Chains A and B, each alone.
Chain A
Amino acid sequence: MLARIKEFLGMESKPSDAGEVVSKEEVEKVAEEKPKPKIGYIHLSGCTGDVMSLSENYDILAPLLTEMVDIVYGQTLVDRWDIPEMDIALVEGSVCLQDEHSLHEIKEVREKAGLVVAFGSCAATGCFTRYSRGGQQAQPAHESFVPIADVVNVDLSIPGCPPSPEIIAKTVVAVLNNDMDYLQPMMDLVGYTEACGCDLQLKIVNQALCIGCGTCAMACQTRALDMTDGRPELNSDRCVKCGVCYIQCPRSWWPMERIKKDTGL
């Protein structure tokens, strides 16, 4: 089963040496022997786009959700009010500091979950909820929305508005697989909570690193970026602070080992 999912995702590009084959068998063994990981889905202040992206993995979702993991908590997914113990908590949405219930919920999730995953840009970077300034019905006092890492310790961060179905599937497989190398950048991204399209200017162009490749503008999910004279140009009115442009830039971090593994080169 895992092999099928990995094949679908192109993760098993080429078993280039014996080591790879062994690890694949190991993975299947682990998947069979280990109890299924318990996963919960926690919905804070987000638009439900992230869970929709998750469910867009329909090709592999049924076996993934029924055979490989146990969903133990989640609105509309599980009929349950109290938060149980779980291995992985996928948290969508930012935390509203004026909403006592959200603060309580995220703290309880932290206590009950092995891994807390900031799932989607609202949870990871604050994303468009960063622009909130209150004054809206039905809760006019709700004005401060922060990424969950501002309030609790987070283990993995998967930004994206929403994250692509592929990165979700790859991450879930990597977690099941204990593939820490793949997950490392997502652990590193936990600290990246003040994202903005202007990061390209500050951290790449100003630092003499930009090479005008256009990856950032391709990745921007809101078309906030143009390429002008070979450099990204931000239309800040369109930017939702998802952080994806900077994260996809080949000059922010560079996962050569993984790329070599994926391409077989």
Chain B
Amino acid sequence: MVLGTYKEALSARSTDKQIQKISQDGGIVTALLSFALDEKIIDGAVVAGPGKNMWKPEPMVAMTSDEILAAAGTKYTFSPNVWALKEAVRQYGLEKVGTVAIPCQTMGIRKMQSYPFGVRFVADKIALLIGVYCMENFPFESLRTFISEKMGVSPDLVEKMDIGKGKFWVYTADEELSIPLKETHGYEQNGCNVCLDYVAELADVSTGSVGSPDGWSTVLTRTDAGESVFKLAVDAGLIETKPMENVKPGMGLLEKLATDKKTKNQKTIDDRIAMGLPVPYKASTEKEDPLANY
């Protein structure tokens, strides 16, 4: 199962014009978190909020829809969101915390829930975990280097960044620039090269751009909690959906990219094990399912 366990796959987008305008893809993350907040399914959310530097996010405990909205859009560098979960519970006193996480962060959260060694009463307060797909992430200096040196534009002028169609894109007020993703290889953090999860397999609901047309997102509902909040938001008219069969490029591309990532990174894992380097995953020869995330 290259996409993990899921209940339903849909193409979807927020019906809210403002969210559509500033979100990365279909605005699913922003729409779902704000909806969950309004409906008191969560009483706050940890998001990748704006930092001092626009492209260097900082985890933020958002208590209002406006704050959630302010964090919309993808920043292709670290935002250690898991760090702020304890703050959300302790300082903000939240009982039901929502959060957005890339796959590796989802793994940190789920491990903490199953084995909460020193983590007191945080595990049971995670009420909604929205995962976003992720192929790799970049250290901030990497990002700055290839945008300014390879793309020839100051990151300060960039209004949006995106990965799609095999390219890394930046948009300024009057320009649209891209370089082939090949040229960003080697700039990603090394830890990503052993990562076996593309689609946040352990989230309540996962979303990303791949599989759906521009401005839309591909959504995988996974747990009861994820399915329920997504359905409620659709019923409330905040999210519109289309069957995946009706959209291009569709599930095939999502499955292909997830398989490519797992195959390539499993090879890195095998190489590391052969060299005697530590890695928390199994060698391909020890696995029943070569595409499984362990």
Give chain A's interface residues, CB within 8 Å of chain B.
10, 53, 121, 158-167, 170, 185, 203, 207-215, 217-221, 227, 229-230, 242, 244, 247-260, 262-265
Contacts and interface: CB of A to CB of B under 8 A. Distances in A.
Contact of A254 (B105, B111, B112, B191): B111
Interface string B80-124: 111111100000000000000000110111111111111111111
Interface string B277-294: 111110000000000111
Interface in B146-183: none
Task: Indicate the member of B82, B114, B121, B278 with the most A CB atoms within 10 Å.
Answer: B114
A239 B57 CA distance: 27
A248 B118 contact: yes
Contacts of A209: 191, 194, 278-280
B78 A229 contact: yes
Interface string B183-201: 0000001111111000001
Nearest to B122: A218
Contact of B114 (A121, A165, A258): A258
Ordered nearest first, which 8 A-B pairs have the shortest CB separation? Answer: A214-B80, A230-B78, A214-B83, A215-B108, A244-B118, A256-B294, A212-B78, A208-B190
Task: Indicate the member of B83, B109, B112, B281 with the most A CB atoms within 10 Å.
Answer: B83
B80 A230 contact: yes
A170 to B, nearest CB: 8
Given A166-B116, A244-B118, A263 B139 contact: no
8 contacts: A164-B121, A208-B190, A215-B105, A215-B109, A220-B118, A229-B140, A248-B115, A262-B113
Chain A contact residues: over half helix, strand or loop, or mixed?
loop
A214 B202 contact: no
Interface of B: 4-5, 59, 77-78, 80-86, 104-105, 107-124, 137, 139-141, 189-195, 201-202, 222-223, 277-281, 292-294
A252 B189 CA distance: 17
A162 B202 CA distance: 28
A206 to B, nearest CB: 10
B113 A163 contact: no
Contact of B189 (A121, A167, A212): A212
B280 A251 contact: yes
A89 B5 CA distance: 40
Given A256-B292, A265-B201, A211 B104 contact: yes
B82 A214 contact: yes
Contacts of A185: 115
Contacts of A215: 82-83, 105, 108-109, 111-112
A211 B280 contact: no
A203 B40 CA distance: 41
Contact of A10 (B108, B124, B140): B124
Contact of A218 (B86, B104, B107): B86
Task: Indicate the member of B85, B118, B280, B292 with the most A CB atoms within 10 Å.
Answer: B118
Nearest to A162: B118
Contacts of B84: 214, 218
B83 A218 contact: yes
B277 A263 contact: no
Nearest to A221: B118
Given A211-B104, A212-B191, A213-B108, 20 more contacts: A159-B117, A164-B118, A166-B121, A166-B124, A185-B115, A211-B191, A212-B78, A214-B59, A214-B81, A214-B108, A215-B83, A215-B108, A215-B112, A217-B83, A219-B119, A229-B139, A247-B118, A254-B281, A255-B115, A256-B293
